[in-house]
């Protein structure tokens, strides 16, 4: 299974490939494109980009880009400057602590909420995603790892059928994603350890305590990588 397949499965879980779903508007498509860039390394901390540059890259007019940037700024994922440039907000110690706390509290809860809804087919999907992640780790494929890791977590979290918590978690991932890309770029993927197999085993055993432990430890290990670079 390729990483493109992994992302397709995730988007299907989000309902983006649902034949009955309404097609995305141009504004929504651009928002999703910029959001993906934030999650997987298209924006790097410390490097500002112009709205015109983004529009040219996406081959669209500046207006929908401004609208998308406005949304992402309101969500704390981007920071606007007076010269029509945007950048990733600085990762301060205070912000890091808040992101770490939010992830530690909310992501294990989403996993527990998802547990009653998990079917065998969902577990097989998670196994397939994790197998692809292992290949990325072996090959040093940073972007592939990031995409697979995101797909694993949100394939599980979507099963919680949350209307509120998952939106908060999605917003938080956009705020720390660019920094993870820097960390992986500096240190590689060879020494990364995830808790996905432990999470899968907990799902198979319907063990809520083990599932909470696995997701909590996965969050802790990932966030520690950022703290080392602060």
Whether residue 62 is predicted with pLDDT greater than 70 in this model: the reply is yes
Whether residue 72 is predicted with pLDDT greater than 80 in this model: the reply is yes
Q: Are 63 and 149 in contact (CB under 8 A)?
A: no
Q: Is 43 within the bounds of a domain?
A: yes
CA atoms of 219 and 157, how far apart (whole Å): 14
Same domain, 109 and 208: yes
CATH of the domain at 68: 1.10.10.10
Mean pLDDT of 73-85: 89
**Structurally, how many domains does the chain consist of?**
2
Supply the range of the domain harboring residue 38. 17-87
Mean pLDDT of 84-107: 94
Closest CA to 139 of 195, 184, 197, 199: 184
Same domain, 134 and 216: yes
Q: What are the tokens at 217?
A: 């430890």
pLDDT band at 225 (very low <50, low <70, confident <90, very high): confident
Mean pLDDT of 108-123: 98
Tell me which of 87, 117, 133 is where a domain ends.
87
| Predicted confidence (pLDDT) per residue in 32-43, tens digit | 999 999 999 888
| Predicted confidence (pLDDT) per residue in 192-222, tens digit | 677 999 999 999 999 999 999 999 999 998 8
Same domain, 100 and 172: yes
Tell me which of 42, 66, 87 is where a domain ends.
87
Same domain, 61 and 123: no
Residue 84 has a pLDDT of: 85
Burial bucket for residue 214 (CB in 10 Å: 0-12, 13-18, 19+) = buried
Residue 194 has a pLDDT of: 73
Closest CA to 79 of 38, 119, 115: 38
């Amino acid at each position: 299974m390729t990483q493109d397949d992994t992302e397709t499965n995730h988007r299907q879980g989000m309902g983006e490939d649902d034949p009955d779903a309404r097609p995305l508007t141009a504004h929504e498509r651009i928002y999703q494109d910029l959001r993906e860039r934030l999650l997987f390394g298209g924006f790097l901390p410390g490097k500002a980009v112009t709205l015109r540059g983004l529009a040219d890259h996406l081959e669209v007019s500046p207006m929908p880009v401004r609208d998308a940037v406005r949304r992402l700024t309101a969500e704390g994922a981007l920071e606007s400057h007076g010269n029509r440039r945007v950048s990733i907000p600085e990762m301060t110690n205070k912000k890091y602590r808040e992101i770490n706390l939010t992830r530690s509290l909310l992501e294990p809860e989403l996993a527990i909420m998802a547990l009653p809804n998990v079917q065998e087919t969902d577990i097989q999907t998670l196994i397939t995603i994790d197998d692809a992640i292992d290949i990325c780790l072996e090959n040093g494929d940073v972007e592939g790892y990031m995409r697979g890791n995101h797909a694993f977590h949100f394939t599980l979290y979507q099963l919680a059928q949350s209307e509120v918590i998952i939106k908060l978690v999605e917003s938080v991932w956009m705020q720390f994603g660019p920094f993870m890309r820097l960390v992986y770029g500096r240190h590689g993927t060879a020494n990364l350890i995830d808790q996905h197999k432990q999470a899968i085993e907990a799902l198979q055993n319907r063990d809520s305590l083990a599932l909470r432990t696995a997701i909590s430890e996965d969050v802790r290990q990932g966030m520690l990588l950022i703290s080392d670079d602060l």
